[in-house]
Amino acid sequence: MAEHDITLTVNGTEHELEVESRTLLVHALRDELGYTGTNVGCETSTCGACTVHLDGDAVKSCTLLAVQADGATVDTVEGLADHGEFHPIQTGFQEEHGLQCGYCTPGMMMTATDLLEENPDPSREEIREGLEGNLCRCTGYQNIVNAVENAAETMGSGAVADGGSVEELAGGDACASDPNAGAETTDRCEVRWPDEGESE
């Protein structure tokens, strides 16, 4: 049985672990490291419940070997909120009733933040297209689309009103002031917020 020593930086914390060749990233996250917020809904890479960010991009963590992610930065739903302050996508989901059972929600939010990073002001159609890799069986998607619009609005308007200060928008200055903040933390902030230049 082939074992590999790998390093994963999950939500800013570095973990060293031993995995089999065949261990899927999602199982490493859930079973080995205890990040159970990332869910598993299928084995055909269809449902997107397992979506996390790998080096800043939304990927299906059930379709990656843990060993492939060696050395990478992984961001999961547990890393979205910042010291109890919700990320706008989380607020959007709560305010718009964008979830019912909540099982698809972590993956849905991780895809949505990836979408908003690329397209800070998507149309409803673009949101639906952006989320086609995530299945939800409860909401009929309408309130999920509303939730993403809500988040886009918060992020967009905040950026404009405040002149685009990422730190202030994040509900604090965690990114700027955290003495331990390494590259990962910065990455996370970038993932959450459109660049100043793009926010207009």
Partner 1 sequence: MFPDEFDYHEAESVSEAVDLLEAHAMEETELLAGGHSLLPAMKTGLSSPDVLIDISGVDELRGVSVDGDTLSVGAMTRYSEVLDDDAAHEHAPALTAAIEQLGDRQVRNRGTVGGNLSHADPASDLPGPALVSDATLVVHGPDGERSVPAEEFFFGMYATDIGPSELLVRVELPSADGAVGTYAKKPSPASGYPMVGVSALVATDGDAVSSVRVAANGVMDHGVRLEPVEDALTGETLGDDAIEAAASYAADDLDEAMMMDDLQASAAFRAQLLEVYTKRALQDASERVSASAAAD
Partner 2 sequence: MSIESLDPDDVDAADILGSAIERREDPALITGEAEYTDDIQLPEMLHMAILRSQHGHAEISDVDTGAAEEMDGVVAVYTHDDVADEAVSRDGSLLIPTGWLLDSLRQVDHPVLAKDKVRYQGDAIAVVVAEDRYVAHDATNAIDVDYERLDASADPDAALDGEAGQLHDDAEGNVAFDWEIGDEERTEEAFDDAAHTVSLDLENQLLIANAMEPRAAVADYHPGTDELDVFMTSQNPHLHRLLMSGVIGHPEHKLRVKAPDVGGGFGCKIHHYADEALVALVARDLERPVKWTSTRTEGYKTDAPGRGHVTTAELAMDDDGNITGLRVDTKANLGAYLSTFAPAVPTYLYGTLLSGQYDIPAIHASVTGAYTNVPPVDAYRGAGRPEASFLVERLASLGAREAGIDPAEFRKKNFVPDNAFPYQTQVAVEYDSGEYGKPMEKALETVDYDAFRERQEEAREEGRYLGIGFSCYIEACGLAPSELAGQLGAQAGLWESSLVRFHPSGTVTAFCGTSGHGQGHGTTYAQIVANELGIPYEDVEVVEGDTDEIPQGMGTYGSRSAAVGGSALVKSSQKLVEKAREIAAHQLEADPADVEFEGGEFGVSGTDRSLGIKEIAQQSYLAHDMPDDMEPGLEATSFYDPDNFVFPFGTHVAVVEVDPESGEIEFENYVAVDDVGNQINPKIVEGQIHGGVAQGIGQALYEGAVYDGNAQLLTGSMQDYAVPKSLHIPDMETESTVTPCPHNPLGVKGVGEAGTIAAPQAVVNAVTDALEPFGVDTVEMPMTAERVWNAVNEQATADGGDAADATDADTATDADADTGGEN
- Shortest Cβ distance from residue 23 to partner 2 (Å)? 8
* 59 near partner 1, judged by CB under 8 A: yes
Decide whether 86 or 165 has the Cβ nearer to partner 2: 86
* 69 near partner 1, judged by CB under 8 A: no
The region of 90-98, 129-137, 141-149, 170-178 touching partner 1 under the rule CB under 8 A is: 129-137
The full 3-state SS of the chain, as one line of letters, equals CCEEEEEEEECCEEEEEEEECCCEHHHHHHHHCCCCCCCCCCCCCCCCCCEEEECCEEEEHHHCEHHHHCCCEEECHHHCCECCECCHHHHHHHHCCCCCCCCCHHHHHHHHHHHHHHCCCCCHHHHHHHCCCCCCCCCCCHHHHHHHHHHHHHHHHHHHHCCCCHHHHCCCCHHHHCCCCCHHHHHHHHHHCCCHHHCC
Decide whether 20 or 167 has the Cβ nearer to partner 1: 20
The binding site for partner 2 (CB under 8 A) comprises 20, 22-23, 27, 30-31, 34-44, 46-47, 49, 76-78, 80-81, 86, 90, 93-97, 99-106, 109, 124, 127-129, 131-132, 134-146
**Distance between first and last Cα of the chain:** 53
* Binder among 8, 28, 49, 58 for partner 1 (CB under 8 A): 58
- Shortest Cβ distance from residue 187 to partner 1 (Å)? 15
Decide whether 98 or 158 has the Cβ nearer to partner 2: 98
* Binder among 75, 82, 96, 114 for partner 1 (CB under 8 A): 114
